[in-house]
Amino acid sequence: MTAPIPPPAASLARLRARAAADGLLYLSDEDANGPGAAHADAVPWAVPLADPFAALEEVLEVRRTALAGFARGVLPPDHHNGALEDRALLLHLYHRHQLTAVARLVGGVRYACTRPGTTPVAAAWSPANSSGPPC
């Protein structure tokens, strides 16, 4: 005989409680992208280093080096000169995601989404030197 299957609601509640205890948050694309996105932990495509400031320095150094070596020779011989603009744009904007990560770390917020009937968690500013868990 097999063990009884717990009700889905009870299993889901245990899963949510375990995720919350482990510090996991539910953050949507709206929390990560768009003009109003400000959550410090919802930055896609950032360099995954423990120190976002060091990661920004590293990304900026890569960008400086790439731009310093940028010339017509970066294109294959059969490409037109107009293709240089496409490649230059990518290099020029190379640092944008890491810069967003640092900006949200310095001036962003941390909050957690809750379900109806649960206790809401207050939003908190995200100071750059905070090493504590999210809200």
Q: The tokens of 130 are what? A: 């905070």
Q: The tokens of 70 are what? A: 């940028």
* pLDDT band (50, 70, 90) for residue 1: low
- Which pLDDT score is estimated for 132? 43
- Which pLDDT score is estimated for 57? 94
Q: Is 0.85 surpassed by the pTM of this model?
A: no
Q: pLDDT digits over 42-53, tens only?
A: 888 788 788 888
Q: For the residues of the chain, what is the DSSP string, one character each? A: -PPPPPPHHHHHHHHHHHHHHTT-----HHHHSSTT--BTT--TT----S-HHHHHHHHHHHHHHHHHT-SGGGS-TTS-TTHHHHHHHHHHTTTHHHHHHHHHHHH-EE-----TTSPPPPPEE--TT--SPP-
* pLDDT band (50, 70, 90) for residue 128: low
CA distance 71 to 23: 47
Q: The tokens of 125 are what? A: 């500013």
Q: What is the number of alpha carbons within 13 Å of residue 90 lying toward its C-beta?
A: 7
Contact between 56 and 105 (Cβ < 8 Å): no
* pLDDT band (50, 70, 90) for residue 122: low
* pLDDT band (50, 70, 90) for residue 134: very low
Q: pLDDT digits over 3-52, tens only?
A: 777 678 888 888 888 988 888 888 888 888 888 888 888 888 788 788 88
Domain locations in the chain? Answer: 27-125
